[in-house]
Amino acid sequence: MLQLPASLTHDQASACLRELGQALKSEASPAVLNATALTSFDSSALAVLLELQRAGARLNKKVVVQGLSDRLMALATLYGVEALLGGA
């Protein structure tokens, strides 16, 4: 299981994506992203989650996001991407 950090804003997005993208390569399918620790975020968190979904697709792996907070789901709904997150 891959863990999202407690903070995922524009400042951390590139490093987080690099780290989790590398880790995704060794995960079984479905790869699970645990978002329960994520408490401080902006729309960059959605960009990271969506890019990890795309990276998983390139690796022929399903990516499931677990533990999304209500606030992050509300942001995803605002942007119209909640259905693309692959989890609940």
Residue 55's CATH number: 3.30.750.24
Confidence of residue 17 (pLDDT cuts 50, 70, 90): very high
Residue pLDDT, tens place only, 19-39: 999 999 999 999 999 999 999
| 69 close to 34: Cβ distance less than 8 angstroms | no
What pLDDT is attached to residue 74?
Answer: 95
Burial class, 31, CB count within 10 angstroms (exposed 0-12 / middle 13-18 / buried 19+): buried
The tally of domains found in the chain comes to 1
Crossing angle of helices 43-58 and 10-24, in 10° steps, is 20
Model pTM? Answer: 0.93
Domain containing 43 equals: 2-85
Residue pLDDT, tens place only, 48-64: 999 999 999 999 999 99
| 35 close to 68: Cβ distance less than 8 angstroms | yes
5 to each of 9, 31, 34, 83, 86, how far by Cα in Å?
10, 16, 9, 22, 19
What pLDDT is attached to residue 85?
Answer: 83
